[in-house]
Homo-oligomer: A and B are copies of this chain.
Amino acid sequence: MKTISEPTRRRLVLLANLLSRSKQERITSVKIQEMTGFSRDLIRKDISLLDFKGGVSNGYDSKELLAAICSGLGLSFGEKGEARFCCIVGLGKLGAAIMQCGMFDKTPFKIKAGFDSRVNRTEVLSADFPLYPAAKMETVIPGENIEFAILAVEDEQAQLMADRLVRSGIRGMVNLTGESLSVGDEVVVENISPVLALENILAKI
């Protein structure tokens, strides 16, 4: 398979998400354009980078296309496929809410641990998985095969905890704090701070 560029990869991830929720049996590049705003030519080009020649003159079979994207990108949807283990770092209001709101329930992502440097948080809160003091990160994360982290600590602690996550062998983290994190090249960071998002909106309008 050809290498897939960053913009193409992000579009395909979005498309996979869309397909996983769609009830339509078939879909065309024109319909995808309507739903996503990406041009239909671009969509066909993106799809052509996968090893997938399923398209016919009346479009794609949604399930087949989804499967092709998943196999091309190493994704899976809807609990099937291998579970990927995650942890939540920072159990303040936001971290606790993410932990408890069940947003990963129908995904292959499974939370295996929560961490906080404040003992009273790990003792007061309860979850379907164990909560640990932050001091346990370096042992629990490799021990439980945790690959990804959700970082929801206070801004002041963000880089410190990111460093510990990296040392613990994490492969990627979702950064909900307002800080920009410095991590090594092998660790992937996705910045999804709501404040940063609002700033990006404000700068655009």
Contacts and interface: CB of A to CB of B under 8 A. Distances in A.
In the assembly, how many copies of this chain are there?
2
A203 B12 contact: yes
A42 B21 CA distance: 39
Contacts of A155: 21
Interface of A: 9-10, 12-14, 16-18, 21, 34-36, 73-75, 84, 86, 92-94, 96-98, 100-101, 103-104, 107, 109, 148, 150, 155, 171-174, 176, 178-180, 182, 188, 190-205
Given A74-B202, A172-B204, A188-B204, 8 more contacts: A13-B199, A17-B199, A21-B178, A84-B198, A97-B97, A103-B195, A109-B198, A172-B205
A9 to B, nearest CB: 5
A94 B192 CA distance: 14
Nearest to A172: B201
A194 B174 contact: yes
A42 B73 CA distance: 29
Contacts of A190: 197-198, 200-201
